[in-house]
Amino acid sequence: MLEVVYRNARTRVADLAATLSAEQLQAQVPATPRWTTHDLMAHLVGCAADAASGRVDGAPGDQWTARHVAERRHLSVGELLVEWDRVGPAAESTLTEEQIFGPNIAADVTCHESDLHEALGLPRVDREHWQPFLEVMMGYLRNQLRHNTTVLIRDEEGQQWSCGSGEPTTLLRADGYELLRATHSRRSRTQIAAWDWTPTAVTDVVERFGFFGPRDDDQPIPISTPLT
């Protein structure tokens, strides 16, 4: 499954990148504010190249990802896409089903696809493309909150997760896309606290939402209509 998820996401992101203007390629990505759109594409291509060649020392740390950008900053988006097309099949062949429960290039490209959409003011990515990772990240959140008072989380499609110890004392009604983005540290503490909590959100619970830690900069929230 993961190799198909990766291949399809790579195709969507490459097709989008090929249409971007020079101005859009230099736009800052709010989710990764040190990167422009071009930098983010360089990371995705570098990640695939490293996966294909086994050059994964330091993954997925900051120095590892920064190298992807530095090595490809001089390349045009067309050149980036040529490289991605060349190394992509080998990269996807390294994926196994067990990797869905940890860092992997399919989860990475899916997360960054939404980063791009939000940076460019595009509608959110269709749910079918990110749903498998929502289940994984809610498992992460369940582990993060295992010593906290239990929160029952329910999304707009009726899926629900019980996170914490003991009987639920708090109900959170939240959009599935927003839950995923928050667990990927793509929503601020203020944005998470403003969700539909009954009673009011507990600060310690909000703090633990993001896999990469809490953040304070509010992020753009796309409209829910997917691209067709």
User: How far apart are the C-alpha atoms of 79 and 58, rounded to whole Å?
Assistant: 25
Q: How many Cα atoms occupy the beta-carbon half-sphere of 116 within 13 Å?
A: 29
Cβ pair 169, 149 in contact under 8 A = yes
- For residue range 142-192, list pLDDT tens digits in order: 999 999 889 999 999 999 999 998 888 999 999 999 999 999 999 999 999
- For residue range 88-146, list pLDDT tens digits in order: 999 999 998 888 888 899 999 999 999 999 999 999 999 999 999 999 999 999 999 99
The pLDDT of residue 24: 97
Run of H or E including 165: strand 165-173
Instruction: Check whether 227 has a pLDDT greater than 80.
Output: no
The pLDDT of residue 215: 96
Cβ-proximal residues to 90 (8 Å cutoff; 6+ apart), any chain: 51, 52
User: How far apart are the C-alpha atoms of 217 and 144, rounded to whole Å?
Assistant: 22
Highest mean pLDDT among 51-65, 88-102, 192-206: 192-206
- Which residue ranges form the domains of the chain, and what is each CATH number? 2-119 (1.20.120.450), 131-207 (3.30.1050.20)
Percent of the chain residues past pLDDT 70, beyond the cut: 97
Confidence of residue 58 (pLDDT cuts 50, 70, 90): low
Confidence of residue 228 (pLDDT cuts 50, 70, 90): very low
Model's pTM, two decimal places?
Answer: 0.93
Instruction: Check whether 29 has a pLDDT greater than 60.
Output: yes
